[in-house]
Amino acid sequence: MKWSRLFPAVFFLIGLAHPFLLPAGEKVVIGEIEDVLLLPWKIRIPARIDTGAALSSLDARDLRVEGGFAHFKLSQKLGGTPLRLPVIDWLDIRSAEASERRPIVEIDLCIGSRKVRTRVNLNDRSKVRYPLLIGRNTLREHFIVDCLQERCAPPSCEEASSP
Amino acid sequence: MKRTNLLSGFFFLLLVAVPAAGAGAEEKAVIGAVEEVLLLPWGVKLLARVDTGATTTSLDARHLKVEENIATFQLPDRYEGMVIRVPVVSWKEVRSAGGKEKRPVVEMDLCIGARRIRARVNLNDRSMVNHSLILGRNVLRRHFVVDVTRARVQDPVCPVPRKTEKQTPPAPHPLPIPE
């Protein structure tokens, strides 16, 4: 039997298999900046994807904590929606200048095609460009970051697209 | 027979065309949340934080001084306090909580995995921070994608010039010894 007669079969098999040979196929590739949806409200928030941050962070205005709940508003730019979420933990930040305690809450986000429930710390981010920072706690297991790209994975979760 | 040839041709095209279409992402190597980076030509291996939130790359430079456009500084003690002298190519203004600050920017070769990358690095005293080197988007953008589930994915394997290996380049003015 000639080897050339095997080529069709070989290419056929490689052709079938190659989608599975691509690296990290199960993780969603996202850019350095992405618009994500805050669920269930479907509020579109521009986010900086930051592998340097251990914990994600959300811009919370007029923040106060009462009876274990964080009461805050999103910025006017995002519609100023008032939110009330249970505080599940606290983040202690020590810097050269001062120490600070920030409440941590859990939120549902749609990033690319993935819906993820994730922890975020709440603080006033009015001085920084992006109201949401997606840190390593959210990225782990789900996403791969490609800094060459921006807004390459628009939010497309099933839940988000339903009316 | 003809039909199988046609079929194999189709899959061959698929095999060639699909990776080519995604070439921008495909050529990039995957790195983790922290990676070992070899600083060349000095041959020092540093553990770097991979930080897509940082515009530029920065290095912990102790006892930093700039004279006649040459930056002289020391690496942290865990790198045997190696002294590095390198020309300043520009200055970067940084806004931080403390106010405005100007940092010297130098060019260095970073070896990550098998890639030797010439990169701009800004210098500042980062003694408060865990990682001596922060890999920012200027280095990540063209070469890597980041998977924070992983760490130390790539072993730096670039050849180190023998003469400078593990040696301190001569410093004309000895630096003060830290307490």
Instruction: Write the pLDDT tens digit of every residue in B52-105.
Output: 999 999 999 999 999 999 999 999 888 888 999 999 999 998 876 667 889 999
How does the average pLDDT of chain B come out, rounded? 82
* Alpha-carbon span B59 to B122, nearest angstrom: 6
Q: Which residue of B has its CA nearest to A146?
A: B145
- Find out whether the peptide bond into A103 is cis, omega within 30 degrees of 0: no
Report whether pLDDT(B8) > 80.
no
What's the mean pLDDT in B28-40? 95
- Find out whether the peptide bond into A40 is cis, omega within 30 degrees of 0: yes
pLDDT band at B5 (very low <50, low <70, confident <90, very high): low
Q: Using the beta-carbon criterion (under 8 Å), do A29 and B145 form an inter-chain contact? A: yes
Q: Using the beta-carbon criterion (under 8 Å), do A11 and B12 form an inter-chain contact? A: yes
Q: What does the block give as tokens for B87?
A: 């020309």
CA B157 to chain A, closest CA, distance in angstroms equals 22
pLDDT band at B159 (very low <50, low <70, confident <90, very high): confident
Q: What is the pLDDT of residue B52?
A: 97
Report whether pLDDT(A66) > 60.
yes
Report whether pLDDT(B14) > 70.
no
Report whether pLDDT(A139) > 60.
yes
pLDDT band at A49 (very low <50, low <70, confident <90, very high): very high
* Alpha-carbon span A53 to B129, nearest angstrom: 13
Most confident of A5-19, A60-74, B7-21: A60-74
Q: Using the beta-carbon criterion (under 8 Å), do A8 and B146 form an inter-chain contact? A: no
Best residue of B52, B58, B149 to probe chain A, by most A CBs closer than 10 Å: B52
Best residue of A56, A93, A148 to probe chain B, by most B CBs closer than 10 Å: A148
* Alpha-carbon span B20 to B42, nearest angstrom: 37
What's the mean pLDDT in A151-162? 79
Q: Using the beta-carbon criterion (under 8 Å), do A96 and B128 form an inter-chain contact? A: yes
* Alpha-carbon span A133 to A105, nearest angstrom: 14
Q: What is the pLDDT of residue A161?
A: 54
Q: Using the beta-carbon criterion (under 8 Å), do B137 and A147 form an inter-chain contact? A: yes
Q: Which residue of B has its CA nearest to A137?
A: B148
* Alpha-carbon span A120 to A132, nearest angstrom: 9
Name the residue facing B52 among A7, A10, A32 (closest C-beta).
Answer: A32
Domains observed in chain B:
29-146 (2.40.70.10)
CA A7 to chain B, closest CA, distance in angstroms equals 8
Q: What is the pLDDT of residue A81?
A: 95
**What percent of chain A clears pLDDT 90, i.e. is strictly above it?**
72
Q: Which residues of A fall below an 8 Å CB-CB distance to B? A: 7-12, 14-16, 18, 22-24, 27, 29, 32, 48-53, 95-97, 133, 136, 139-141, 144-148
Q: What is the pLDDT of residues A77-123, one digit of tens each?
A: 999 999 999 999 999 988 766 788 999 999 999 999 999 999 999 99
- Chain B residues touching residue A33 (CB < 8 angstroms): none
pLDDT band at B163 (very low <50, low <70, confident <90, very high): low
Q: What is the CATH number of domain A27-161?
A: 2.40.70.10
Best residue of B141, B146, B153, B154 to probe chain A, by most A CBs closer than 10 Å: B146
pTM reported for the whole predicted model? 0.77
Q: Which residue of B has its CA nearest to A129?
A: B53
Between helix B2-21 and helix A7-21 the angle, nearest 10°, is 30
CB A85 within 8 A of CB A123: no
Q: Which residue of B has its CA nearest to A11?
A: B8
Closest CA to A22 of B60, B15, B141, B124: B15
CB A115 within 8 A of CB A39: yes
Q: How many CB atoms are located within 10 Å of the residue A8 CB?
A: 19
Name the residue facing A8 among B8, B30, B142 (closest C-beta).
Answer: B8
* Alpha-carbon span A79 to B110, nearest angstrom: 44
Burial of A103 (0-12, 13-18, 19+ CB in 10 A): buried
Q: What is the pLDDT of residues B112-154, one digit of tens each?
A: 999 999 999 999 987 767 899 999 999 999 999 999 999 999 9
Name the residue facing A52 among B5, B18, B49 (closest C-beta).
Answer: B49
Q: What does the block give as tokens for A32?
A: 């350095």
Name the residue facing B54 among A29, A52, A140 (closest C-beta).
Answer: A52
Q: What is the pLDDT of residue A159?
A: 65
Q: What is the pLDDT of residue B87?
A: 97
pLDDT band at A19 (very low <50, low <70, confident <90, very high): very low
